[in-house]
Amino acid sequence: MTFYTEMPLTAKSHIGASKCTQQLYGIADLVVVDKHGQTHIVDYKTSIHAFSDYSNAKQITVFHQIGLYQRMLSDLGLRMKDKKAYVLPI
């Protein structure tokens, strides 16, 4: 397995009908590429609460963040077998 910590990611996004392009940036807490070449994203959240206890709005925000990271990693050629991400409360 290969581990990448604090992995910087970028992507271009088109905003609205004007097709204005905006550069997006993120930092994945931990990216793991397993022995089968599949990529897994681990996102740490500073909280004493389990992810299932987050409000619906907070869960949606996290899903969007992880989804964007998945897109960025796919653009880099990393294989994402599933769309599962891991959120670890710390």
pLDDT per residue as tens digits for the range 13-40: 776 676 788 888 999 999 999 999 889 8
| pLDDT for the residue numbered 1 | 92
Strand arrangement of the beta sheet that strand 85-89 belongs to: 2-15, 20-33, 39-45, 85-89
The pTM of this model reads 0.78
Segment 39-63 mean pLDDT: 87
Segment 44-71 mean pLDDT: 87
Segment 64-78 mean pLDDT: 89
Average predicted confidence (pLDDT) for the chain: 85
Structure tokens at 76: 């880099």
Does pLDDT of 46 surpass 90? no
Does pLDDT of 84 surpass 70? no
CA dist 3 and 38 (Å) reads 12
| pLDDT for the residue numbered 50 | 81
| 12 contacts 24 by C-beta, under 8 angstroms | yes
| 30 contacts 39 by C-beta, under 8 angstroms | no
